[in-house]
Amino acid sequence: MRRTGYNSLKTERDQSNYDNIDGKIEDVEEAKFIDCRTEEKPPYKTLFLVFFLFFMGFFTLIVSTLIFFGHLDEKVYADRMIPLMILGTLMFIPGAYYIRIVYLVVRGRDGYNYEMIPTCS
């Protein structure tokens, strides 16, 4: 539920800069809209790392699942299944979390910015 406050009604004194014909503001400079959002430059190295973690974690989880279900040769790759699953999980979870933050920043959701993602400098 949205909480908005009530505004007081305009008096004669407040409407002095409005035109009597159509009610628009006479001064064009005051009528311009100002975009309050600042254009942040995204940290490209960090975004690359986030997407790398997500996709490599997803890939290693898929490979370990294929080994587990026998689509890849179990005799050759059976010893690699558990390490791939652990590595994939450790890469996928933070990658998915930070991709969600990047998505919400790109969408312009209030309260989310690129400073919420740790940078690699």
Predicted TM-score (pTM) of the model is 0.63
Dihedral (C-alpha) 100, 102, 108, 112: value to the nearest 10 degrees? 80
Average confidence (pLDDT) over 42-65 = 94
Average confidence (pLDDT) over 79-95 = 94
| Average pLDDT, rounded, for the chain | 80
β-bridge mates for residue 18, sequence order: 25
pLDDT at residue number 76? 85
Domain ranges of the chain: 40-116
pLDDT at residue number 75? 81
Say how far apart CA 2 and CA 77 lie, in whole Å. 56
Say how far apart CA 101 and CA 121 lie, in whole Å. 19
Say how far apart CA 119 and CA 121 lie, in whole Å. 6
Res. 70: pLDDT tops 90: no
What crossing angle do the helices spanning 81-107 and 44-68 adopt, rounded to 10°?
Answer: 140
